[in-house]
Structure 1
Amino acid sequence: MRAIVACIVAALLATAVRAAPPQTVVPAPATGAFDDTRRGWHFYDDPAKDEPVPRPTDMPPATRARPAPSTAVPPEVQALRDLQRLLEQLKSVAIMNPTEDNVRRYMALEIKLVKHASRFADVAQKVAWASPELDPTTEGRPVNAQALEVFEQVQMQQRASAIAELGKDHVLLFFMRGDCPYCHAFGPVLRAFSEKHHLQVVPISLDGGTVPGFSQARGDNGIAATLKVKQVPALFLAQPVNGKIMPVGVGVLAEGQLLERLDALRPRPGAPPATPMTTAASHQ
């Protein structure tokens, strides 16, 4: 019986083998030289003839190689940098090891740089003499004593004219005390300044006393606290039309100081108005 079963199984297997179609092995496509064992991995693939190699002019503007910016510096600049670097090195060596040779080398190089700077200063001075627009002494405050005296006289005259114009719609608020020696010293100065430049002064006494030059003073109605007057003599510039008040200074001021500060506070055409400290509308 077992022999019969074995014969039947063998016959079925033989029939299945004969009925199965032959299998065809399809090789995987080669993706490159590394996958082609016939050519080996040392092979270099040339581009296909039907695919032209892109030229730089055919590339988009963003991918074109841009020339590197020039980083070259003038030889004089590089020479100065080298000398400055060497000077710092020699100085460090001389400080850490102050032998005569080390100090001498540093001093010799320092003198060399000083000579270069001195020659530059001489040439720059000659250029300034020939070109007034490049001469700093011709602009602003002069350095010559005689020219400085003339400059200050002209400046004082200009400021005096400006202060006279300021007196048309401005007054000075003078806070003082009858027992203040500095107020007694400043009173006559302020009185003379007022008469000379036609600028009205409104004296305000904090204790009811008076000072020379201002025998009649107003009493404080609270404006001193509003302006935070803590020391006297104190001077403020006020514009009654709009009630603006700006501080001028505290203490005894000379005529030159008064001119300078009032000139700085006066309104100028085209310039933003000065920021007022407060308004005096409620203290008129």
Structure 2
Amino acid sequence: MLTLCLQVFLWYNDRHGHELDDSATNSRLIHWTHDHRIEELKEQFNRAQRIALDNPTLENVITAQRLQKQIMEKAHKFATMWQLATLLDYQLINAHEPSNSLHKKLYQEKSEQKKDLKLKNIAKNCELILQVKQDCLLCKAFMPIVQGFANKYAFQLLAVSKNNELLNKLNPKHIVHASLG
């Protein structure tokens, strides 16, 4: 059996039991209004952008830019209120994630310092070993990168090869030379 649910427009103002209360209706209307305004602005911008792309007159481009400016202003206001709400209500902040760009930068610097300290502690007990070959251009190109890393974190760098020829050409003072031959 097929049941149809019809909505009827009542032109008179009498209240009936099957009608929704005003608060539910108003709530739906408010949500619909917000959604409608946002979607309408997006559609206007997309339409203006397509028109400006198809016919790039000054007037068409200005119209598209004005609509984009409206969107950007709304986004900026939203972002500002979002940050303010986050700052005012500490429960909205996740302690493990930065809440704004300054906090994010400080968090990253602190993380880098922790990583540097860990690497320096590892360097006390370990050394870097770089195996090199005589006619290897990659070895020659990679060596300064490895040396920089070793210097930065105080690693002892051990370069090894089957013959000492390449090691003699590299000959940095802090490298311990070892021959595999």
TM-score (norm 1): 0.37
Query: Counterpart of 1:226?
Result: none
For residues 59-138 of structure 1, the aligned pairs below 5 Å read 74-75=31-32, 76-130=34-88, 131=90, 132-133=93-94, 136-137=98-99
Name the larger-Rg structure: 1
Query: Counterpart of 1:143?
Result: 105
User: Aligned in 2, Cα 1:156/1:213: closer, same or farther, shift over 3 Å?
Assistant: closer
Residues 142, 151 of structure 1: 8 Å contact kept: no
Residues 205, 218 of structure 1: 8 Å contact kept: yes
Q: Which has the higher helix share?
A: 2
Matches of 2:174 and 2:61, distance apart in 1: 69
Matches of 1:164 and 1:81, distance apart in 2: 58
Matches of 2:77 and 2:123, distance apart in 1: 50
Query: Counterpart of 1:152?
Result: 112
Matches of 2:159 and 2:59, distance apart in 1: 74
User: Aligned in 2, Cα 1:78/1:213: closer, same or farther, shift over 3 Å?
Assistant: same
Matches of 1:152 and 1:106, distance apart in 2: 43
Q: CA deviation at 1:125?
A: 1.6
Unaligned runs of 5+ in 2: 6-27
Residues 130, 159 of structure 2: 8 Å contact kept: yes
Matches of 2:148 and 2:68, distance apart in 1: 55
User: Aligned in 2, Cα 1:185/1:129: closer, same or farther, shift over 3 Å?
Assistant: same
Q: CA deviation at 1:104?
A: 3.9
Matches of 1:184 and 1:101, distance apart in 2: 59
Residues 187, 214 of structure 1: 8 Å contact kept: no
Tell me the number of residue pairs that the alignment of Structure 1 and Structure 2 aligns. 143
Superposed CA RMSD in Å reads 4.4
Query: Counterpart of 1:46?
Result: none
Matches of 2:72 and 2:60, distance apart in 1: 19
Matches of 1:105 and 1:191, distance apart in 2: 57
Q: CA deviation at 1:120?
A: 0.5
Matches of 1:219 and 1:186, distance apart in 2: 23
Unaligned runs of 5+ in 1: 1-62, 221-284
Q: CA deviation at 1:158?
A: 2.8
Q: CA deviation at 1:204?
A: 2.0
TM-score (norm 2): 0.52
Identity of aligned residues (%): 16
